[in-house]
Amino acid sequence: MPSENVRTVFIEKFGGPEELKFIERPVGDPGPGEVRIRHKACGLNFIDVYQRTGLYPLDLPAPLGMEASGIIEAVGDGVTHLRIGERAAYASTPPGAYCEARVMRAAQVCPLPDGISFEEGAAMMLKGLTVNYLFRRTTPIAKGDTVLFHAAAGGVGLIACQWARSEGVTLIGTAGTDEKCELARENGATHVINYRNEDFATRVREITEGKGVDVVMDSVGKDTFDGSLDSLKPLGMMISFGNASGKAPPVDLGTLAAKGSLKVTRPTLFTHIADHETCQQMARELFEKVTAGEIVIHVDQRFPLAEVAEAHKALEARKTTGATILEV
């Protein structure tokens, strides 16, 4: 098949949404262990913003985008889990999902069940697999445990609320408006806190009768970090997995001791899904919850790929709920 040019979003320097540029570049045939996928939709995530601004530096010029869904057009040697014409979705490094089609490693590309739309597939992979490792692969969480989850009305948060409800975990969700708090409650949060009106750490202590929570899941970073530590019970686990408000501050290990022998970890999704079989198993677990109706993927915003800069502005301004996709 002769090579064709496809539209791809690149940045040439770090900065604001205005740095997102379109270029035409050739997409060729897959080599060993690779596939070519024709995208139907791409996901939007805060990691894309971090990479665009340089918080997570990339070698420039660089494409952006970490998740998408589409149809497999070609399969390289050694790829056995995907077939030409099959529906698929992925969250994967390196960046490059903001495009019409691409050749990429096949290991983290997953067959997409027929009962899940391309929109849902593009919206759920990075966020849903993140929720999977938060609840199943970072620290033991059992039925009856209590979790504090920040940004509970966001794309990851709404999946987390539903995941917690499906497994009997009490989830206390925080959000910045009453409307977002209600959305989190509707999706399974047992308790909600509007952090703009209340000190969330104080409120957590009230909800838990002074005990604190077993686990905090914090993707906000700088603004919530200290309060998150104050919300934990002795021996509790703080999972810091994002920096929406800026980098979390350095941790004095003595503080962890003084607050009750606390534990802190900073995981990333891409460490968890680096192994092909682990990635595919995590995806199957996620797909099972969606197809069973235990988790509904909320695609609340849609932008044409051509309006990717506007999508970034909306995400950074916290004007979004649920997931946002780019239509290809």
Res. 245: pLDDT tops 80: no
State the Cα torsion 158-160-161-167 to the nearest 10°. Answer: 150
Q: Helices marked H in the chain — which ranges?
A: 46-53, 118-136, 155-166, 178-186, 200-207, 225-230, 253-258, 269-272, 276-291, 308-316
Which band of pLDDT confidence, cut at 50, 70 and 90, is reported for residue 112?
very high
Percentage of the residues of the chain whose pLDDT score is greater than 90: 88
The reported pTM is 0.91
Question: CA dist 41 to 104, 122, 316, Å?
Answer: 16, 6, 20
Helix (H, G, I), strand (E, B) or coil at 73: strand
User: What one-character DSSP code corresponds to residue 59?
Assistant: P
**Nearest in space to 134 (alpha carbons), one of 100, 110, 115, 160:** 160
| Confidence (pLDDT) at 162 | 98
Q: Output the CATH code of domain 139-266.
A: 3.40.50.720
Distances (CA, A) of 59 to 8, 44, 212, 315: 16, 20, 42, 24
Where along the chain do the CATH 3.90.180.10 domains lie? 4-127+270-327
Integer CA distances (angstroms), 32 to 161, 166, 219, 319, in order: 40, 40, 36, 42
* Residue 130, pLDDT score: 96
- Give the pLDDT confidence score for residue 183 in this predicted structure: 95
Q: Where, residue-wise, is CATH 3.40.50.720 in the chain?
A: 139-266
CB neighbours (10 Å) of residue 156?
25
Inform me whether the pLDDT recorded for 85 exceeds 80: yes
**Position 247 confidence tier, pLDDT thresholds 50, 70, 90:** confident
Q: Do 35 and 103 contact (CB within 8 A), yes or no?
A: yes
What mean pLDDT is predicted for residues 270-276? Answer: 96
Q: Which CATH number fits domain 4-127+270-327: 3.90.180.10, 3.60.10.10, 3.40.50.10210, 3.90.1150.10?
A: 3.90.180.10
